[in-house]
């Protein structure tokens, strides 16, 4: 006799719920819930008569996607900035491959996270397109995705320049502040330095070039900002005068 009531044991995968009145299963499975689980679905009527049936619920892994869209430029006989290829979805661990082979001196770590590293050797200058392929561990059928990315190797290190404008965005006392200093050319990674204290509450991350924090007082400071690269045997540097104002 109606109305009916639906019950399930054990609970459905995280993110899914059973409507006890209609029997509808709703929601979106949470990350990490892929796989097949067995559940006992019980239907009760108004007189407490019931019937139970065991059903399997299968949650497929999210679609595999390569998220890397570009690769840093390298320079002959200079260490290439270690670059990990990005991927989402699927089931870890991942396995990577590349076709054709990377320039002499560069290698791809085929196991996650799929990092390109090394030093391009003489004769590798130029731009080449490479097909990077990742395969996940989904069962019974693995997922595979490919993406073509261009890699440029130059003969000489491009000049190192600070490309951030001379006047930085204004800060406001008591409000979070964040701006990243930018540079072009040179050889990654960069290191950043300033020749005087920043406004109170703000600090410079010397590795990322990000000025961040929460200003605690008004200020108007001009400072010399220097970026140093990783070119060998002699690092390149560039300095630029910047201004940063903090207001109420």
Strand partners, 115: 84
Model confidence at 1, pLDDT cuts 50, 70, 90, reads low
- Same topology for domains 65-154 and 161-247, yes or no? yes
Short-list 5, 1, 13, 4, CA closest to 55: 13
Q: Which fold has domain 161-247?
A: Immunoglobulin-like (2.60.40)
65-154 classified as CATH 1.10.287.70: no
Contact 207, 193 (CB under 8 A): no
Determine the average pLDDT of the residues in 149-167.
97
Report the C-alpha gap between 146 and 169 in whole angstroms.
40
Query: Domain map of the chain by residue range?
Result: 5-59, 65-154, 161-247
Summarised one tens digit per residue, pLDDT across range 48-72 is 888 999 998 988 778 899 999 999 9
Vertex 236 angle, CA 244 and 166, to 5°: 20
What pLDDT sits at residue 99?
A: 98
Which residues on neighbouring strands pair with residue 48, listed in sequence order?
none
Q: Tell me if residue 16 falls in helix, strand or coil.
A: strand
Tokens matching residue 115? 């990092």
Structure tokens given for 227: 């970026």
Query: pLDDT (tens digit, 9 = 90+) per residue, 35-52?
Result: 788 999 999 988 888 899
**pTM (2 decimals)?**
0.71
The reported pLDDT for the residue numbered 104 is 98
For residue range 201-218, what is the model confidence (pLDDT) as tens digits?
A: 999 999 999 999 999 999
Average pLDDT of the chain is 94
Whether 112 has a pLDDT exceeding 90, the answer reads no
């Amino acid at each position: 006799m109606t109305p009916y009531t639906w019950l399930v044991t054990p609970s459905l995968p995280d993110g899914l719920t059973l409507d006890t009145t209609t029997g509808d299963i709703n929601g979106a499975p949470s990350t990490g819930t892929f796989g097949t689980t067995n559940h006992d679905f019980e239907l009760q009527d108004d007189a407490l008569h019931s019937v139970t049936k065991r059903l399997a619920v299968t949650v497929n892994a999210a679609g595999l996607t390569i998220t890397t869209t570009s690769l840093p430029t390298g320079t002959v006989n200079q260490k290439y900035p270690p670059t990990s290829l990005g991927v989402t979805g699927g089931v870890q661990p991942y396995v990577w491959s590349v076709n054709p082979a990377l320039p002499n001196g560069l290698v791809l770590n085929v196991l996650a996270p799929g990092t390109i590293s090394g030093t391009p050797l003489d004769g590798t200058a130029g731009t080449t397109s490479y097909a990077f392929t990742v395969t996940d561990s989904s069962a019974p059928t693995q997922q595979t995705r490919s993406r073509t990315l261009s890699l440029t190797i130059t003969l000489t290190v491009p000049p190192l320049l600070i490309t951030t404008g001379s006047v930085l965005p204004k800060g406001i006392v008591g409000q979070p502040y964040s701006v990243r200093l930018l540079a072009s050319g040179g050889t990654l990674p960069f290191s950043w330095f300033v020749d005087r204290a920043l406004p109170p509450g703000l600090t410079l991350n010397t590795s990322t070039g990000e000025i961040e924090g929460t200003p605690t007082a008004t200020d108007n400071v001009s400072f010399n900002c220097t970026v140093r690269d990783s070119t060998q045997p002699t690092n390149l540097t560039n300095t630029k005068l910047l201004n940063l104002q903090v207001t109420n």
